[in-house]
């Protein structure tokens, strides 16, 4: 299972084109104390993967306006995106953004992702839940469901995936993970329907393998060839890392033995 890390506030909305860079240069030249211009130029540098320049501009924006919530949030994104940078700085900036605006859903979402990736599941659940209470959406529900699943709370994980699908029936990650849960509950035919829909919507490689294994177990038509699968999916350890359950792992091992 993978966490969704989409932008709740689109950087492209802030900077619709590279032509904006000249506008921000001119704004800063004209008014060096313009924290807004530093913020926008910094986010544009971020989009261009010029991380050092992005951090510099976003820091300048904060120096000019220490209460600028968006500047903290976007600087945290830079820290969070670059392995060489100190992830603790990202956590500090997400937390500062939330301190300044407790209703900043994007900061809550991203700090939740940060905690989840770090294994701090209780903190992640707290952030996701606060964001969901403010404005539920399928990505928040999905990510919280993944954390519940990692804590072996299958019931609450399943409920979050169901709610995500109620909001967006075409949400492929929730379809796949709902299928994984149903498979572990021995509801294999229901799992097959989830995997089939995921495959029909996005040709998701993981869903294809899960569907092939499920159909094989049910003695249903299996039109999926092993050579069509990404080789990493044929590695059981990779599947375990992606939180495939014990029953599906066992059945996948048997499937591969029969097909290889």
Q: Return the domain boundaries, the chain.
A: 1-101, 109-165, 169-260
Mean pLDDT to the nearest integer, 103-122: 93
The pLDDT value given to residue 134 = 97
pLDDT at residue 1 tops 60? no
Provide the pLDDT for residue 82. 83
Instruction: Read off the pLDDT band of 222 (50, 70, 90).
Output: low
Q: Is it the case that residue 27 has pLDDT exceeding 70?
A: yes
How far is it, in rounded angstroms, from Cα 59 to Cα 48? 17
**Average model confidence (pLDDT) across the chain:** 88
pLDDT of res. 9: 46
Query: Which pLDDT value is given to residue 104?
Result: 94
Do 1-101 and 169-260 show the same overall fold? yes
| pLDDT for res 230 | 73
pLDDT at residue 21 greater than cutoff 90: no
Lowest mean pLDDT among 56-70, 72-86, 130-144: 72-86
Contact of 3 with 146, CB cutoff 8 Å: yes
Average pLDDT on 115-139 reads 95
Fold that domain 1-101 belongs to in CATH: 1.25.40
- Asked if residue 11 has pLDDT above 50, the reply is no
Amino acid 57: pLDDT: 97
235 vs 44, more confident: 44
In whole angstroms, give the CA distance from residue 216 to residue 213.
5
Selecting from 1.10.1740, 1.25.40, 1.10.3470, 1.10.287, what CATH number does the domain 169-260 have? 1.25.40
The encoded tokens of residue 18 equal 């590279």
Per-residue model confidence (pLDDT) at position 192:
95
Helical segments of the chain, H only: 11-14, 20-30, 35-47, 51-64, 69-81, 87-100, 105-117, 121-134, 138-150, 154-167, 172-184, 188-202, 205-217, 236-241, 246-259
- Of 20 and 161, the structure prediction assigns the larger pLDDT to 161
Q: Kindly tell me if the per-residue pLDDT of 10 is higher than 60.
A: no
* pLDDT at 198 (0 to 100): 93
**Fold type of domain 109-165:** 1.25.40
Q: What's the token pair of residue 220? A: 């249903």
Give the pLDDT confidence score for residue 206 in this predicted structure. Answer: 87
Are 141 and 165 in contact by the 8 Å Cβ rule? The answer is no
C-alpha distances in Å from residue 86, one per residue of 90, 145, 205, 216? 7, 28, 33, 47
């Amino acid at each position: 299972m993978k966490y969704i890390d989409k932008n709740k506030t689109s950087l492209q909305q802030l900077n619709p084109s590279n032509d904006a860079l000249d506008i921000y240069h001119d704004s800063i030249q004209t008014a060096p104390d313009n924290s807004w211009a530093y913020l926008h130029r910094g986010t544009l540098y971020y989009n261009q993967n010029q991380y050092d320049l992005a951090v510099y501009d976003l820091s300048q924006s904060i120096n000019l306006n220490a209460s600028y919530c968006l500047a903290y949030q976007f600087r945290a994104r830079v820290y969070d995106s670059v392995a060489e940078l100190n992830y603790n700085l990202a956590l500090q900036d997400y937390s500062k953004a939330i301190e300044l605006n407790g209703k900043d859903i994007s900061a809550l979402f991203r700090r939740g992702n940060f905690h989840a990736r770090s294994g701090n599941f209780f903190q992640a659940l707290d952030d996701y839940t606060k964001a969901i209470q403010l404005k539920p959406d399928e990505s928040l529900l999905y990510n919280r469901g993944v954390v519940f699943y990692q804590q072996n709370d299958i019931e609450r994980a399943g409920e979050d995936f169901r709610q995500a699908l109620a909001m967006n029936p075409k949400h492929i990650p929730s379809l796949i993970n709902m299928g994984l849960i149903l498979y572990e509950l021995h509801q294999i035919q229901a799992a097959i329907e989830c995997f089939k829909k995921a495959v029909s919507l996005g040709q998701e490689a993981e869903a294809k393998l899960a569907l092939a294994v499920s159909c094989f177990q049910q003695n249903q038509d299996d039109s999926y060839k092993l050579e069509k699968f990404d080789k990493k999916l044929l590695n059981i350890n990779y599947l375990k890392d992606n939180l495939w359950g014990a029953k599906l792992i066992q059945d996948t091992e048997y499937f591969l033995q029969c097909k290889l």
